[in-house]
Chains A and B, each alone.
Chain A
Amino acid sequence: MSQGVIANTEPRPPAGLSGVLLLLTGLLGLAALASLLWGAGDVGASRALAVLFGVGDEEARFVVETLRLPRTLIGIAVGLALGVSGALLQAVSRNPLAEPGLLGVSAGAAFAVAVALWLGASAATLRVAVAQVGALVGCLSVMSVVRLRGLGDDPVRLVLAGAAFSALLASLTSLLLLFDQRTADEIRFWVVGSLAGRRLDDLMAVLPSLALALVVTGLIARPLAALALGERVASGLGHRPGRVRALVVLAVALLVGAATAIAGPIAFVGLVVPFAARSLAGPDIRRTLWLCLPLGPLMVLSADVVSRLVVAPSELSLGVLTALVGAPVLVAVVRARRLPVL
C-alpha cells in the first residue's frame, strides 16, 4: 500500500486521470487544428487544409504558416502559463477566487510594461523581463496582504484587495498615458489582450522562462499537496512551507509575466481553468495541475478562434472573450452555497 503511494512519483500522471487527460489532449489538438484552419481573413478552411497537406496556394501558405501557426503556438503557451499559474496561486493562498488577473498580478506586469514603454523600451526580450519583474512585485504584494491580514480565510476580501490594487495600477497607467502620446498609442492595442499579430520571436523570448517555471512547478507539486493538509503536516513530512511559498511566487511571476508580455493582460483564464480542472480531478493539487496543462491552452485557443469568427472580417479581442466566459464562472463559484475552501 505505502509502496504504491511512494512509487507514484511526479512525472507520471496520477492513476485514473490518463483517460481524461487523453481526451482533453485530443480536444486541444482539435482546437489547434481549428485555429490553423479558420481566421478572420478570406483564407477559408479548405484552402488552409490544402496547405497542411502541402498543396496550398501562395497566399494561403503565407497566412497559415506565418500568421496562424505562430498564433496557435503562442496561444498554447499563454494558456499553459495562465492555467498553471492560477492553479498554483489558488493552492498556495487556499482560495478558490485567487486568479492572477483578479489579484493584480497581471496588472502589475502590465503596469511594468507600460513604464518600460514610456521609458522608451521596445525590444521583446526586455519586455518579458520587465513584465516578469512587475508580476513578481504584484504577486509579492498580494501574498503579503494574504499573510499580513490573514485573508486566506476570506476569499472575497482577497478579491476586493486585488480589485483595489488593479484599480490603483490602472489609474497610474492612465497617468503615464497623459504625459506621453506615443506610449498611449502603443499601449492601447497591447492592453486589450490579444494574440493577433504576435510573431514567433516573441514566443522564443519567453520559452526559457516558461520551461523554468514548469520545472519549478513540477518540483513543488508534491510539497504543495502536503501543504494543503496544513502547515504542520507539511513540516512533519519534511517540507519547508516558507520555501515552497517562495517558489510558488517565483513560478507564478515567471508564468504570468511571460504570458502578459506576449498577449497583454488576459483575465479569468487562471480562474476558469483550475475551476474546471478541480471539478474533474478533485482536490489534489497534483491532479489539478496535470489537467491544467491541456485545459489552459484549450480555453485560450477556443476563445481565440471564436474571437476571430464572431465579428469577421475584423476581430474581437481575446481579453473580452475570456472575461465573458470567466465572469459567469466567478459568479458561479461565489453562488455555491458554501465557498469551497482549498
Chain B
Amino acid sequence: MSPMSETVPMLRRGDAVPRPAPVPPPPGCWRLARGEWHLLIERRALAVGLSLLALLLAASLAYLCLGQQWLSPAGAWVALHGEGDVMAAFVVQELRLPRLLAAWLTGAAFALAGCLMQALARNRLATPGIIGIDNGATAFAVASVVGLGASLAPPAMALAGAATAAAVTFGVASGGDTRGYRFIVAGIGIGAVFGAVTQVLLARVDIDTANAAYPWTVGTLNARPGGAVTILALGLAVGWPLALGLARSLSLMRFSDAVARGLGVGLRRRRAQVLALSVLLTALAVAVAGPVGMVALIGPEIARSLASPRGVPLTASALAGALVMVLADLTGRLLLAPIELPVGIVTAVVGGPWLLWILMRPAKRKSP
C-alpha cells in the first residue's frame, strides 16, 4: 500500500462526505460565512475606511461653516435644510454645498485613478497627471478658451483632450508586449507635446484671454460646470464598483509578471481595463476641476500609509483623495481671503515637498 491511501481514507458509495474543518480566518480579519459564501473583512481596512469617512464628514462640516460668512455648525445644519436666515441658506445651499460635492467627487475620482495607475505601473509616481492625461485636457480646454475649436465649451474640450491624449498614448504604446512602462513613457512624451501646445496657445493671445484660460492650467473648483459634475457622479458610481472588482487582480499584479500570470491573472486584459478605468475617471474629474493631478499622488499615498500592505487600498484612496480635496479647497478659500487660491495651487504647494521627499528618500521597501 502506498502511504497516500493511509492518510486519505477511500470514500465508498453511500458514505457521508466529511465536511472540511472551517479554515480559521487570517489574522486581523473577520469572516462572514453564509452557506457557500464567505466574505473576509479586514479589520484594519474597515477601521481606516471608517476613520477617513469620519474625517471627511468633519472637514465637510467645516467647509460648510467657514468662509466669507462664518456660521456655527448648528447654523450650517439649519441652513442646509433651507431654514433660518435666508442669506445663510443661500450661501450654504447654493454656493458651498455644490462646491463641496464637486470637491468630494473630483478628489475621489483623481485619487482612485491615481491608485489604479500606481498599482498598474508598480510605481507610486505614476499618476495619470504625471503621464500627460492632464496636459491633454489642459491643452484642449485652453484652445477652447482662446477661441480655437470654439464650438465646444471648455469642460467638454477637457474631456475630449484627456481622451485624445490617452488614445494617442494607447495607440503609440500598444503592440509589442504588455509591459506597462511603455505606456508611461509614451504618455510622458505625448504630455510634453500637449504642454508645448498649451504654452504656444497662451503666448499667441492677449493677456486678458490668457488670464481667462489660467484656471484651466492650474485647476480650480470655482467655475465648475453643472453638467460635468453630474457626469462625474455617474462615472464614479460606475467606476468605483468596477475598480473594486479589479482589486483582487491588482493586488496580484504587484508581484512580477510571471507570478501574477501563474496566479491566474490575465495580464493583458486586466492592464487594459485598469488603464481605461483610470483614464476615464481622470478625464471626467479634469472636466470638472481642471488639472489637479497632485491629489492623485497624495490620496493614495495617505491611504497606503494607513492601510495594511496586503492589498491595494482603493476605497481608502478615494476617501483620502476627497478629504485632501476638501481641505485644500477650504484652505484656498480662507488663506488669502478675499483672494481665492485655486485648489490646484494649494495641492501643488502641499504636495510638492511631499513629492520631493518621495523622490529623495532612500528606497527601503518596494513601492506597490
Residues of A within 8 A of B (CB): 97, 101-102, 141, 144-145, 148-150, 156-157, 159-161, 163-165, 167-168, 170-172, 174-175, 177-178, 181, 184-185, 188-189, 191-193, 267-268, 314, 316-317, 319-320, 323-324, 326-328, 330-331, 334-335, 337
Report A-chain residues with C-beta under 8 Å of the C-beta of B176: 335, 337
The answer for the CA separation of A170 and B345 in the assembled complex, in Å, is 10
B187-232 interface with A by 8 A CB criterion = 188-193, 195-197, 199-200, 202-204, 207, 210-211, 214, 217-218
The answer for the CA separation of A265 and B53 in the assembled complex, in Å, is 43
Main secondary structure of the interface of B (DSSP, over half): helix
Shortest Cβ distance from B252 into chain A, in angstroms?
A: 21
Known A320-B193, A327-B192; judge A156-B185 contact (CB<8 A). Answer: yes
1/0 per residue, CB under 8 A from A, across B340-353: the answer is: 01101100110110
The answer for the CA separation of A170 and B219 in the assembled complex, in Å, is 13
Contact B217 A174 (CB under 8 A): yes
The answer for the CA separation of A323 and B197 in the assembled complex, in Å, is 9
Contact B218 A156 (CB under 8 A): no
What residue of chain B has the Cβ atom nearest to residue A101's Cβ? B192
Contact A334 B360 (CB under 8 A): no
Contact A161 B125 (CB under 8 A): yes
Shortest Cβ distance from A5 into chain B, in angstroms?
A: 38
Say if the beta carbon of B130 comes within 8 Å of chain A: yes
Main secondary structure of the interface of A (DSSP, over half): helix
Report B-chain residues with C-beta under 8 Å of the C-beta of A334: 173, 181-182, 185-186
What residue of chain A has the Cβ atom nearest to residue B169's Cβ? A331
Say if the beta carbon of B167 comes within 8 Å of chain A: no
The answer for the CA separation of A193 and B196 in the assembled complex, in Å, is 9
Q: Offer 10 A-B interface pairs, CB within 8 angstroms, sorted by A.
A: A145-B359, A148-B362, A163-B191, A172-B348, A189-B203, A191-B199, A319-B196, A319-B199, A331-B172, A334-B173
Residues of B within 8 A of A (CB): 123, 125-126, 129-131, 172-173, 175-176, 181-182, 184-186, 188-193, 195-197, 199-200, 202-204, 207, 210-211, 214, 217-218, 293-294, 297, 341-342, 344-345, 348-349, 351-352, 355-356, 359-363
Tell me which of B173, B197, B199 contacts A188 (CB under 8 A). Answer: B199
The answer for the CA separation of A317 and B172 in the assembled complex, in Å, is 24
Shortest Cβ distance from A6 into chain B, in angstroms?
A: 41
The answer for the CA separation of A26 and B48 in the assembled complex, in Å, is 67
Contact B199 A317 (CB under 8 A): yes
Of A102, A189, A319, most buried by chain B (CB within 10 Å of CB) is A319
Known A160-B125, A172-B348, A331-B173; judge A192-B192 contact (CB<8 A). Answer: no
Report A-chain residues with C-beta under 8 Å of the C-beta of B345: 171, 174-175, 178
- Please list the 8 inter-chain residue pairs (A to B) with the smallest Cβ-Cβ separation, ordered nearest first: A171-B348, A327-B189, A330-B189, A156-B181, A320-B196, A334-B185, A323-B196, A160-B125
Known A171-B218, A171-B345; judge A323-B181 contact (CB<8 A). Answer: no
Tell me which of B129, B192, B217, B218 contacts A323 (CB under 8 A). Answer: B192
Report B-chain residues with C-beta under 8 Å of the C-beta of A184: 207, 210-211
Please give 7 more A-B residue pairs, beta carbons under 8 A apart, in addition to A164-B359, A168-B352, A175-B345. A164-B355, A168-B356, A174-B344, A178-B214, A193-B196, A323-B193, A327-B190
Known A160-B126, A178-B342; judge A192-B184 contact (CB<8 A). Answer: no
Report B-chain residues with C-beta under 8 Å of the C-beta of A178: 214, 218, 341-342, 345
Tell me which of A172, A177, A192, A331 contacts B189 (CB under 8 A). Answer: A331
The answer for the CA separation of A181 and B195 in the assembled complex, in Å, is 21
Report A-chain residues with C-beta under 8 Å of the C-beta of B351: 168
Shortest Cβ distance from B180 into chain A, in angstroms?
A: 9
What residue of chain B has the Cβ atom nearest to residue A174's Cβ? B218
Contact A192 B200 (CB under 8 A): yes
Known A267-B192, A334-B182; judge A188-B130 contact (CB<8 A). Answer: no
